[in-house]
Amino acid sequence: VIPVVLFHAGLEIFSGGYVGVDVFVVISGYLITSILINELEQGEFSIVRFYERRARRILPSLFFVMLVCIPFAWIWMAPSQLEDFGQSLVAVSLFASNILFWRESDYFAPAAEENPLLHTWSLAVEEQYYLFFPLLLLLAWRFGRSRVFYMIAAIAAVSLLLCESGWRHAPVATFYLAPTRAWELLAGSLCAFLQFGKDQKRNDLLAGLGLGLIVFAILVFDASTPFPSLYALAPVGGTVLIILFAANGTWTARLLSTRSLVGIGLISYSLYLWHQPLFAFARIYSIDKPSQNLMLCLALLSLALSYLSWQYIEKPFRKTQRRSLPAASSVLTASAAAIVLFLGAGVVTDAADGFYELKSTDRQLILMRTATASPKRDDCHLSDPDFQEPDASCEYFSRNVKFATFGDSHAVELAYALAERLRGYDLGIKHLSLSECAPSYGKQRGPSDCSHWTDVAIKSILGDDKIDTIIVSYRINAYLFGGHEDSYPDLPIEVSETERGMVWASYINILQDLVTSGKKVVLVLQAPELPQRMEGLIYDPMSANANLPGLSRDWWTRRSAYVRQHLKEIPAGVMIVDPANSFCDETVCYAGQQDTSYYFDDDHMSVAGAGIVADEILSKLGFQEHLYFGSDQRRGGAESLAQSARAGFEAMAVGRLQLAYAPVSAGSPGR
């Protein structure tokens, strides 16, 4: 379990620490099956007693950790996070959290790190397995132990084949779901059959090989490793070799029998339960990524909490010989009652949309009301690059279309904000944007798969004589270096120098062809990226200032250095607008001000934020400000906004605000 803890703490050297779960699962399969075989052989097996033991083993500590999480979730979580937490309470109570998390997000996604109950997915897989496995053994036992062994081996083989196929076609489902994980538990079960009634074999070489395979996986695997797949044979096979061959006297057994490791083994379940909530709440509470030192301190704290819960919760409930302990029926009844209580708490929290009204101040409601995406995003922002002609319905709000916006999703809110301001001139805008579309145009096309869309869109713009002004906007830094979500506060370097050169060349080619046409071209540089989603900043306990801090100006200067160093390559005649000039001062780039959110996630400007940039664009083009919006009219008073926010929030729950715009994904560049 230690590698799992250090992996979740963010220690890069333990990049494959997540395989500790696989090791744990194999050992669990071995131990439980050994008990079942012994009871079946002696004719003493009782399904009720089996479930009672599982309840004593799993539920008290699990329920206690869930209970402790609730007040911290209430205090520190934003409404949408609290709503998700409520769903997690329901799923964990039903031992179905693996199914919920499969539907929600990738295990390795940045958002998953802020889920305090994420780690319960493996408990759900185990309990789903143990719900059916004892019954299967009981029914099949009449055919003899050897036949049952081969039956289990066949099921394990099928599960492994599903696993190997699944990572190619449905990697998230393959990671979380029981059918593709069953072979790991069954590997432990097969060891139990092989070991039953026999002394453990002693083989230093094979036992050492097993330990080496596990260490190899921990140090070499990472989030990009196809997993689980045949790669999982390393930790699973390594554990099997240790179970079968690390008898007393082998150096592997001596190493694993040291007092410290045995002690950690005793508290391993509690340690597994405690570490993720501590890490998740630290990430939720912090505006920036928590420091490595803080995470290591929390890892030590989880050790202390684990010892206490093992000593005062696990041990008392597991020592069934004490008369003071409740009978089996009482244990199962109490477990059912606790499950009902957590189910109720989760259902109410989910139904109340994370209690957004109770949790939100007037200022938070105001900021959330302005943290909105364009109403045209669903209809006019494309996700499929294989389209033929632009949709005429995405020319708005006047038939006199003189403007066009072009780019990836960072052009969407700009299009809407500009169109709103151009109403006063009876001018319309043509909206052309494609999700995750890196520049790919001209002789040196970039690696993007949206070359066809780029060609068609530019042809549409240049062939439209009515259009005289083109606004270009890309999340260019993400295409040049990669997204910041996984690396912040470090700078990402996920793109090769060759690919970077191709993207920049295409970027210049696009601007060159547009400006050569004789039309006015405005290039909007990428807006500063935030360290977390806008809602998290709004509800962060440390974000109570009038201006909502986002990140340091120095970080953004370093992040955008490549673009600024190459601005001289931008074709003459292209007007350049930099949102950082509006959003940043000398030291800080802000996510918003007293009553205005500049973003609706971690990198896309909100309509309000895009409006500030649109004002600058129109000013550069010589438009008169009073004809579209004045700053007082645009922002309004805080008091009226608060009243409006509270009146309208029932139809637009905070927790679901971003979900209304399904094509948006904070983890993908230019989405």
> How many CB atoms lie under 10 A from the CB of residue 516?
12
Which ranges in 566-622 belong to alpha helices (H)? 580-583, 607-620
Q: Place 635 in a pLDDT band, splitting at 50, 70 and 90.
A: very low
The vertex-291 CA angle with 290 and 292, nearest 5°, equals 120
The encoded tokens of residue 160 equal 């492994």
Which range (163-172, 509-518, 542-551) has the least confidence?
A: 542-551
What's the pLDDT at 542? 67
In the chain, count of helices (H) and strands (E)?
Answer: 31, 10
Contacts of 419 (CB under 8 A, 6+ apart): 396, 397, 403, 428, 429, 431
Same domain, 119 and 192: yes
* Cis before 228 (ω within 30): yes
Residue 332 lies in a domain: yes
Contact 402, 467 (CB under 8 A): yes
Contact 193, 37 (CB under 8 A): yes
Same domain, 244 and 280: yes
Same domain, 420 and 322: no
Average pLDDT over residues 285-306: 92
What's the pLDDT at 388? 59
Residue among 206, 158, 148 nearest 181 (CA): 158
Residue 366 lies in a domain: no
pLDDT in tens, 1-37: 999 999 999 999 999 999 999 999 999 999 999 999 9
Q: What is the CATH number of the domain that holds 597?
A: 3.40.50.1110
Residue 133 lies in a domain: yes
What's the pLDDT at 329? 67
Q: Which class for 146: exposed (0-12), middle (13-18), buried (19 or more C-beta within 10 A)?
A: exposed
Average pLDDT over residues 366-377: 92
The number of domains in the chain is 2
> How many CB atoms lie under 10 A from the CB of residue 205?
11
The vertex-53 CA angle with 67 and 311, nearest 5°, equals 55
Average pLDDT over residues 441-470: 83
Residue 667 lies in a domain: no
What's the pLDDT at 532? 87
Same domain, 304 and 433: no
pTM exceeds 0.75: yes
Who wins on pLDDT, 573 or 626?
573
Contact 639, 540 (CB under 8 A): no
What's the pLDDT at 320? 56
Using the 3D structure, point to which of 359, 394, 425 is the last residue of a domain.
359
Same domain, 203 and 240: yes
Same domain, 438 and 487: yes
User: Does residue 385 have a pLDDT over 90?
Assistant: no
Winning range, highest mean pLDDT, from 377-391, 481-495, 628-642: 481-495
Average pLDDT over residues 409-435: 95
Contact 18, 7 (CB under 8 A): yes
Same domain, 77 and 161: yes
Distance of alpha carbon 296 from alpha carbon 307, whole angstroms: 17
Distance of alpha carbon 183 from alpha carbon 164, whole angstroms: 11
Using the 3D structure, point to which of 326, 359, 392 is the last residue of a domain.
359
Residue among 668, 602, 538, 489 nearest 106 (CA): 668
Distance of alpha carbon 396 from alpha carbon 423, whole angstroms: 9
Q: Which residues span the domain enclosing 465?
A: 371-630+637-660
- Beta strand 381-382 with 401-407: parallel, antiparallel or unpaired? unpaired
pLDDT in tens, 175-203: 999 999 999 999 999 999 999 988 888 99
Residue 70 lies in a domain: yes
**Strand ranges in 286-394 using DSSP code E only, listed in sequence order:** 381-382
For the chain, what is the mean pLDDT? 88
Contact 53, 269 (CB under 8 A): no
Distance of alpha carbon 584 from alpha carbon 398, whole angstroms: 33
User: Does residue 324 have a pLDDT over 60?
Assistant: no
Same domain, 521 and 649: yes
User: Does residue 115 have a pLDDT over 80?
Assistant: yes
Residue 68 lies in a domain: yes
Same domain, 268 and 379: no
Report which residue type is found at 248: N
User: Does residue 630 have a pLDDT over 90?
Assistant: no
Distance of alpha carbon 364 from alpha carbon 373, whole angstroms: 17
The DSSP code for 530 is P
Distance of alpha carbon 15 from alpha carbon 302, whole angstroms: 20
Residue 536 lies in a domain: yes
pLDDT in tens, 242-258: 999 999 889 999 999 99
What's the pLDDT at 634? 39
Distance of alpha carbon 615 from alpha carbon 583, whole angstroms: 13
Instruction: Provide the phi-psi class of 43: left if phi over 0, else alpha when psi is between -120 and 50, else beta.
Output: left
Same domain, 385 and 321: no
Percent of the chain with pLDDT over 70: 88
> How many CB atoms lie under 10 A from the CB of residue 351?
10
Who wins on pLDDT, 207 or 648?
207
The whole-angstrom distance between residue 489's C-alpha and the CA centroid of its chain comes to 17
Question: What is the DSSP annotation of 93-116?
Answer: HTT-HHHHHHHH--TTSGGGGG-T
Q: Place 288 in a pLDDT band, splitting at 50, 70 and 90.
A: confident
Length of the chain equals 671
Residue 227 lies in a domain: yes
Same domain, 11 and 50: yes
Q: Place 647 in a pLDDT band, splitting at 50, 70 and 90.
A: very low
Same domain, 235 and 328: yes
Distance of alpha carbon 550 from alpha carbon 542, whole angstroms: 12
What's the pLDDT at 448? 59
Residue among 354, 470, 497, 463 nearest 406 (CA): 470
What's the pLDDT at 292? 92
Handedness of CA 65, 71, 74, 76 (dihedral sign): negative
Using the 3D structure, point to which of 359, 387, 415 is the last residue of a domain.
359
The DSSP code for 196 is T
User: Does residue 60 have a pLDDT over 80?
Assistant: yes
